[in-house]
């Protein structure tokens, strides 16, 4: 059975995906800050800031799944944080590329995370597909472009099959972002955020991990795919469903955008803006969603 090397394996998606891959019979190894090859999941050390990497991990890998990246929403986007967000995605990919370039045996596939933020922090009537370009050139969009460019260098320079999954807001009981969004409703203060008219592209963690599994197993999958569930829902509709599933009241008065921007700064744009994103390409590739509606996804995650 193939060996799958994960970067960012200790994160929420990485842990769940590792469990799924092991369940399916794959050998899973991680690149991590510390080397611990005798653990239940062998860990090999790397440090992109020092340009250090354990080649032994790459020599074993049949497939690389690149999930590494500083959390987008955990703190304000200062100049230092923005640099960290970009470098933790782009420089890590370049370190992998440079190392693999010098190896006689190369992995067969490189699969990278990306984000629907590629399409820009904006609210519009457009339903975005993988062929669309972003209408705005904000920080998140620029970051995703650099992220994907670093990923597709594996295809362009090494001829490896490459896939990038533009991931939506992840719903899961393990998700810190979902937990934070649930707090107002938990205290009976559920309400739309900002105008409430912005769309919230989303996906359940189980569906996201199963899509990653599909990209490992289906060699026909190449290029960009939107990892987003079929139901296109506004923030107001999402918050209303959340409050209902938590059996809490839902208030029509909205939480003003300026309050969110005051406390969150530029990061608030990820919440206050959003357009519809189409999952049609991943559906056409044969994927069937376990959680096609927000109600089902929320109910399973509370």
Give the residue with greater pLDDT, 60 vs 136: 60
Using CA atoms, how far apart are residues 251 and 71, in angstroms rounded to an integer? 30
Query: Out of 57-66, 131-140, 261-270, which region has the weakest mean confidence (pLDDT)?
Result: 261-270
Report the distance separating Cα 282 and Cα 210, nearest Å: 12
How many angstroms separate the Cα of 248 from the Cα of each of 25, 39, 57, 180? 42, 43, 49, 16
Is pLDDT at 241 greater than 80 in this prediction?
yes
DSSP 20-31: HHHHTT-EEEEE
Beta-carbon contacts of residue 19 (< 8 Å; ≥ 6 apart):
none
Q: How confident is the model at residue 254 (pLDDT cuts 50, 70, 90)?
A: confident
pTM of the model: 0.94
Q: What are phi and psi of 300, to 5 degrees?
A: -75, -10
Encode pLDDT of 65-91 as tens digits.
Answer: 999 999 988 788 899 999 999 999 999
Looking only at Cα atoms, what is the longest distance across the chain? 62
The mean pLDDT of 277-301, rounded to a whole number, is 96
Q: Is the pLDDT of residue 252 over 70?
A: no
Query: How high is the pLDDT of residue 293?
Result: 97
Q: How far apart are CA 89 and CA 151, in angstroms?
A: 9
pLDDT band at 249 (very low <50, low <70, confident <90, very high): confident
pLDDT digits (tens, 9 = 90+) for 185-203: 777 777 788 888 999 999 9
Judged by DSSP in three states, 43 sits in strand
Topology of domain 3-167+204-228+279-284, per CATH?
Rossmann fold (3.40.50)
pLDDT band, very low/low/confident/very high, at 226 (cuts 50, 70, 90): very high
pLDDT surpasses 70 at 6: yes
Model confidence at 135: pLDDT above 90:
no
| Nearest to 57, CA basis, from 83, 86, 28 | 28
pLDDT of residue 256: 73
Instruction: Enumerate the domain spans of the chain.
Output: 3-167+204-228+279-284
Confidence label for 210 from pLDDT (cuts 50, 70 and 90): very high
pLDDT of residue 125: 86
DSSP 53-88: E-HHHHHH-SEEEE-----SSSS---HHHHHHHHHH
Question: Residue 41 pLDDT > 70, yes or no?
Answer: yes
pLDDT of residue 195: 86
Q: What is the pLDDT of residue 251?
A: 66
CA distance 38 to 29: 11
- 3-class secondary structure, 302: coil
Given a cut of 70, whether residue 211 has pLDDT beyond it is yes
pLDDT of residue 134: 82
3-7, 107-111, 135-139, 145-149 — which is least confidently predicted?
A: 135-139
**134 or 103, which is more confident:** 103
User: What length is written for the chain?
Assistant: 302
| Mean pLDDT confidence for 237-248 | 88
C-alpha span between 46 and 96 (Å, rounded): 10
Res 138 pLDDT > 80: yes
d(Cα 149, Cα 151) in Å, to the nearest integer?
A: 5
- Beta carbons of 65 and 111 less than 8 angstroms apart: yes
Residue 272 pLDDT grade (very low, low, confident, very high; cuts 50, 70, 90): confident
Mean pLDDT score of the chain, rounded to an integer?
92
How many degrees, rounded to 5, is the angle at CA 34 between CA 29 and CA 38? 50
């Amino acid at each position: 059975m193939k060996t799958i090397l994960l970067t960012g394996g200790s994160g929420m998606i990485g842990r769940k995906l590792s469990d799924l891959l092991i369940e399916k019979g794959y050998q899973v190894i991680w690149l991590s800050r510390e080397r611990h090859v005798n653990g239940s999941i062998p860990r090999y050390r790397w440090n992109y800031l020092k340009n250090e990497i354990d080649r032994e991990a790459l020599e074993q890998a049949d497939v690389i799944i690149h999930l590494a990246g500083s959390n987008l929403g955990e703190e304000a986007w200062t100049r230092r944080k923005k640099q960290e967000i970009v470098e933790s995605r782009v420089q890590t990919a370049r370190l992998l590329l440079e190392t693999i370039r010098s190896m006689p045996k190369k992995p067969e596939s490189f699969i990278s995370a990306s984000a629907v933020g590629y399409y820009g922090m904006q609210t519009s009537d457009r339903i975005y597909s993988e062929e669309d370009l972003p209408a705005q050139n904000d920080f998140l969009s620029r970051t995703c472009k650099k992220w994907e460019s670093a990923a597709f260098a594996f295809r362009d320079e090494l001829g490896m099959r490459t896939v990038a999954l533009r991931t939506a807001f992840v719903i899961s009981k393990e998700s810190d972002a979902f937990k934070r969004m649930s707090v107002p409703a938990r205290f009976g203060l559920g309400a739309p955020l900002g105008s409430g008219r912005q769309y919230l592209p989303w996906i359940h963690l189980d569906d996201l991990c199963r899509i990653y599994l599909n990209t490992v197993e289906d060699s026909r999958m190449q290029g960009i795919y939107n990892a987003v569930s079929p139901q296109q829902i506004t923030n107001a509709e999402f918050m209303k469903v959340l409050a209902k599933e938590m059996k809490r009241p839902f208030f029509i008065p909205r939480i003003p955008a300026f309050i969110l921007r005051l406390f969150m700064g530029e990061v608030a744009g990820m919440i206050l803006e959003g357009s519809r994103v189409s999952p049609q390409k991943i559906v056409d590739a044969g994927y069937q969603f376990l959680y096609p509606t927000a109600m089902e996804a929320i109910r399973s995650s509370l």
